[in-house]
A and B are shown apart, each in its own frame.
Chain A
Amino acid sequence: MIEVRNITKTYGKKSNTFQALRGISFRIPTGASVAIIGKSGSGKSTLMHLMSGLDRPTSGEILINDQSLSGLSRKAMDRFRAKDLGFVFQSFFVEANQTCYQNVALPLEINQIPRGQRQKMAEQALEQVELFDKAKSKARTLSGGQKQRLAIARAIVNNPKILMADEPTGNLDSATGEKVIELLFGLNRRLPCTLVIVTHDHELAARCQYQIELKDGIVVGLRKPQPVASAKPAMPTSNGKPFVPRPPSHPSGRPVRKVI
């Protein structure tokens, strides 16, 4: 459960201040899919930074499973991001000079996963995004859609409880973007993990269970899920074969840990 309680965020000092967020509150249950929508400058990126602990709110509180982020030390915050969060960015941010495997292994190294387990987890993550055969290729040889899938593999390799995607399709053509979106929603159901998508695309937002629309730092629209969630049949995949969902167990075989 993600709970945001009346948070504000002010940048700058004294006369030169800018209030990016002016009192925002909402609740998202564990495993939901959420869209944070708004135009550029509406505060949606700031909100994502606060929810992921990259930044701290000026006032208010964010609770992840009843644990307040503001109560966390820097070390605990780093640990929270390393263990419980996965990030996907608009510009992918994959390391072009490293192989796909090395890119995916980074969060595992940060988390000090033993080497033996690391390989299995990285390979499973690559398999999830259908890049297993590219494991040894340099990331620079990948197409845009493949790069974003690689970024997604890196985001889920740690089996995160929350997957944050900042304009995940912004740099992709609509066909490739659609595939990435399908992948994100598939993971949201399969892992399962709470999916938070920051976007200005209303069409994409409409596919999420929750929609939080921001304008000038306040919530101007909040939509909660309708009783019936659309259950898609089989997900189309790049190789044309139907996608077979995996059981929602941890890729390493360990039991799924509760959020925090």
Chain B
Amino acid sequence: MKAFDVIRRSGRNLKSAKVRTLLTAMALAVGGFTLTLTLAAANGARAYSQKLISANFDPNSVIVAKDKAIFGEQDNSQPREYSSDIGSVYGSTFKLLDSKDVANIKAQPHITEVSRQYNLTALYVTNNTGKKLTGSLNVYNPAQKPELKAGQVDESLGGGRAVLPDVYLNGLGYSSPGDALNQAITVRVAQASGKTKDYPFTIEAVSTKSKLDIGFTPVGLFISEKDAGNINTFVNANLPTADRVATVVARGDGTNVDQIKQQLQSAGYEARTSKDLQSLVDQIIQVLQIIILVFGFITLVASFFGVVNTQYISVLERTREIGLMKALGMRRGTVSWLFIVEATWIGFLGAVLGSAAAVAAGTALNPFISKQINFGDEYLLQFQAVQIILLIVFLMLVTAIAGLLPARKAAKLDPIEALRTE
């Protein structure tokens, strides 16, 4: 029997048992549905993280630190041996970079600019309304520009100029972002001893939290690196760690960042490119994806046995037909193929049903999901035709394997027994 005839005949056999075929296919469809959605969600999450990283971090820059633990790649729960370069940032203890390190990094070839990432907190921010609001002070980093609602910032922020996040507008009594431009504000900072100092700033621009902002930087004003340095010197005066920072951002001149990274690593620093940050996020996505995939596979195991069962019943039901086909000279192998292909048809049907339902449901729900998890204009579920086709082929393969045992039973059937009429 020719392959085409086998495929056609086995498809026709399924048609004569529509309800049973459909129900078995439905069990498979559940697995196909889960797997399709999982793959689509991982696609979306990966695309989203890629966008996040590229929106938050300049691909030409590298983050440099002295301590691996800053990147979360080292267990920091154990106490560590003291060395003079250890300090505390964000409540954890890390080896920090001092002025000598910064100068050293700056001296490396292909690095045009190094900006310190100070960790500063203002006592409060105020203006002529007398209202006092808390906040942190972040270095305005051209490589990591915030999204602006009003005003404009050229290549870098000038001394005494600040970018105010729009969440301060109401509290400081500005009716609109434009209203706040060029207005004066005062930032008060304090030393550990309690001594305070006021720094005046003029609002250069009003920023808004981008939907793609990961939230690496705490809510607060953006000021120039120089101003931040001055404030840092005042706040940490007399402390041995006064000139130290956990990380600096080194901007490359456009040469391959991996090369710059290599260079810094061999100079004894830890460096991470935007790609490294990306892979860190991707790793988390991958772990989540694997967890859901496992559940998808568990439903597949259940439907695998469903297909075995259905095919066994099909063989029993068609004992006489099988006997007749063998009496008519059909080869054992062909009988076997008829049933394997029949099982594969079920797999095809289930996979197509499941993935079609997943695409339909996903497309319909995407706007809602994006709104719920604050995804902006991005869609979480991104379907890829190639993935879906591969999934369908995979499910067909699984059901073909499920059909092996019943097919063997059919092939071994004795035609004389099968054709006995009593």
Contact = CB atoms under 8 A, between A and B. Distances in A.
Interface of A: 49, 52, 54-55, 74-75, 78-83, 85, 87, 89-91, 93, 95, 97-98, 102, 106-107, 109-112
A229 to B, nearest CB: 30
Which secondary structure characterizes the binding site on chain B? helix
Contact of A85 (B15, B329, B415): B329
Interface in B279-312: none
A107 B1 CA distance: 9
A97 B318 CA distance: 12
Q: Which 5 A-B pairs have the closest CB atoms?
A: A82-B329, A81-B329, A97-B16, A109-B5, A78-B329
B324 interface: yes
A80 B329 CA distance: 7
A106 B416 CA distance: 19
Nearest to A84: B329
Interface size class of B (residues with CB under 8 A): 20 to 34
Given A95-B321, A97-B16, A78 B416 contact: no
A79 B1 contact: no
Given A82-B330, A91-B421, A93-B320, A110 B416 contact: no
A111 B329 CA distance: 8
Given A91-B421, A95-B321, A78 B12 contact: no
B365 interface: no
Given A78-B330, A93-B320, 9 more contacts: A52-B327, A81-B327, A83-B329, A87-B328, A91-B421, A93-B324, A93-B419, A97-B16, A110-B329
24 contacts: A49-B416, A54-B416, A55-B416, A74-B332, A78-B330, A79-B329, A81-B328, A81-B329, A83-B329, A87-B327, A93-B320, A93-B321, A93-B419, A95-B321, A97-B15, A98-B12, A98-B16, A106-B328, A107-B328, A109-B2, A109-B9, A110-B1, A110-B325, A110-B334
Interface of B: 1-2, 5, 9, 12, 15-16, 320-321, 324-325, 327-332, 334, 415-416, 419, 421
A95 to B, nearest CB: 6
A76 to B, nearest CB: 10
B331 A75 contact: yes
B12 to A, nearest CB: 7
Nearest to A108: B5
Nearest to A95: B321
Contacts of B334: 110
Contact of A112 (B1, B415, B416): B1
A189 to B, nearest CB: 24
A98 B8 CA distance: 12
A78 B334 CA distance: 11
B227 to A, nearest CB: 85
A89 B325 contact: no
A21 B378 CA distance: 80
A106 B8 CA distance: 12
Contacts of B419: 89, 93
A80 B12 CA distance: 27
A112 B421 CA distance: 29
B1 A109 contact: yes
Contacts of A75: 331
A202 B26 CA distance: 56
B318 to A, nearest CB: 9
Given A49-B416, A91-B421, A112-B1, A106 B327 contact: no
Contacts of A87: 324, 327-328
A54 B331 contact: no
Contacts of A80: 329
Contacts of A107: 328-329
A126 B330 CA distance: 22
A89 B324 CA distance: 10
Contact of A78 (B2, B15, B331): B331
A86 B5 CA distance: 21
A106 B325 contact: yes
A78 B416 CA distance: 14
Contacts of A95: 321
A36 to B, nearest CB: 16
Contacts of B331: 75, 78
Contacts of B12: 98, 102
A82 B415 contact: no
Contacts of A102: 12
Contacts of B16: 97-98
Contacts of A78: 329-331
A112 B1 CA distance: 5
Nearest to A113: B2
A91 to B, nearest CB: 5
B323 to A, nearest CB: 8
A48 to B, nearest CB: 10
Greatest chain B CB density within 10 A among A85, A95, A107 is at A95
A6 to B, nearest CB: 22
Nearest to B329: A82
A16 to B, nearest CB: 18
B415 A54 contact: yes
A11 B310 CA distance: 33
Contacts of A98: 12, 16
Contacts of A89: 419, 421
A80 B328 CA distance: 9
Contacts of A90: 421
Contacts of B329: 78-83, 85, 107, 110-111
A166 B49 CA distance: 74
A54 B327 contact: yes
A209 B331 CA distance: 34
Contacts of A54: 327, 415-416
A156 to B, nearest CB: 12
A250 to B, nearest CB: 18
Contacts of B9: 109
A156 B12 CA distance: 24
A55 B5 CA distance: 27
Given A97-B16, A109-B2, A110-B1, A82 B416 contact: no
Nearest to B324: A93
A88 B122 CA distance: 99
A79 to B, nearest CB: 6
